[in-house]
């Protein structure tokens, strides 16, 4: 499988324009479907191997491939993370996990059950038992499928330091989401993007809860 992927990776062109923004996918094979983009890489699902995904890094972030591969090997097999199959110089091949990320759940009005929050907490505890430091857990790398939660993108789990993103997100879930959610309630993409950019610009410094209260008063 890795050899087959290697033949097609050369047809992929992924560019990082701004380190705070998602990468741009300029080119891709006709039989590969782009299913997600992050700040360092894009994720594709080959039609010939639909049970897998290929994470291709922008040239400026290619070194992360080996780092993330080592993290997957350290995690081993876990129901909370994708299975790791192998890598190339600038890509990983991992299991395709079905589900909708939290960002799209908010966009589409899909209910986020509390079990998802509990599953992510357990996944974090598992990763720590493996000697890792789970970090950068946000609305686009938590998947919801059949009421359960899963984590994708473990590239920052080897870094030192404390990351409060998940704790902030979890607090927002219990303090705001549970009270505000009604069946069919959707959050517009421009509002989610405004929140995302504000958080990135003010992480560790801004009054996050005060900002959340202003959003609540303005729109809910």
- Select which of 48, 136, 153, 156 is catalytic: 136
Check: CATH 3.30.200.20 for 10-95? yes
Q: Does residue 56 contact residue 14 with C-beta atoms inside 8 Å? A: yes
Q: Residue ranges of the domains in the chain?
A: 10-95, 100-219
Confidence at residue 204, expressed as pLDDT on a 0 to 100 scale:
55
Q: Does residue 58 contact residue 113 with C-beta atoms inside 8 Å? A: no
Please tell me if the domain spanning 10-95 has the same topology as the one spanning 100-219.
no
- Confidence check: pLDDT of 118 > 90: yes
- Confidence check: pLDDT of 212 > 80: no
Lowest mean pLDDT among 23-37, 70-84, 170-184: 170-184
Angle at the Cα of 35 from the Cα atoms of 32 and 36, rounded to 5 degrees: 125
Lowest mean pLDDT among 3-7, 57-61, 141-145, 214-218: 214-218
The fold of the 100-219 domain, in CATH, is Transferase(Phosphotransferase); domain 1 (1.10.510)
Confidence at residue 220, expressed as pLDDT on a 0 to 100 scale:
52
- Closest alpha carbon to 156 in 70, 87, 42: 70
207 is annotated as an active-site residue: no
Calpha distance 37→123 (Å, rounded): 22
């Amino acid at each position: 499988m890795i050899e087959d992927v290697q033949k097609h990776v050369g047809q992929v062109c992924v560019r990082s324009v701004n380190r705070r923004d998602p990468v741009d996918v300029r080119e891709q094979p006709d039989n590969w479907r782009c299913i997600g983009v992050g700040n360092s890489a894009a994720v594709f699902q080959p039609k010939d191997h639909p049970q897998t995904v290929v994470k291709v890094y922008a040239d400026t972030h290619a070194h992360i491939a080996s780092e993330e591969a080592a993290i997957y090997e350290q995690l081993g097999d876990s129901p909370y993370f994708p299975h790791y199959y192998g890598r190339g110089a600038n890509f990983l091949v991992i299991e395709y996990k079905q589900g909708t990320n939290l960002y799209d759940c908010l966009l589409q009005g899909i209910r986020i059950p509390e079990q998802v929050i509990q599953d992510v907490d357990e996944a974090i505890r598992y990763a720590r038992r493996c000697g890792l430091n789970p970090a950068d857990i946000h609305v686009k790398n938590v998947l919801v499928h059949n009421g359960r939660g899963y984590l994708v993108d473990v590239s920052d789990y080897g870094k030192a330091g404390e990351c409060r993103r998940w704790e902030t997100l979890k607090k927002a879930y219990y303090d705001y989401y549970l009270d505000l959610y009604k069946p069919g309630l959707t959050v517009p993409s421009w509002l989610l993007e405004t929140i995302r950019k504000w958080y990135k610009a003010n992480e560790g410094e801004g009054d996050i809860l005060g900002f959340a209260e202003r959003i609540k008063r303005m729109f809910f």
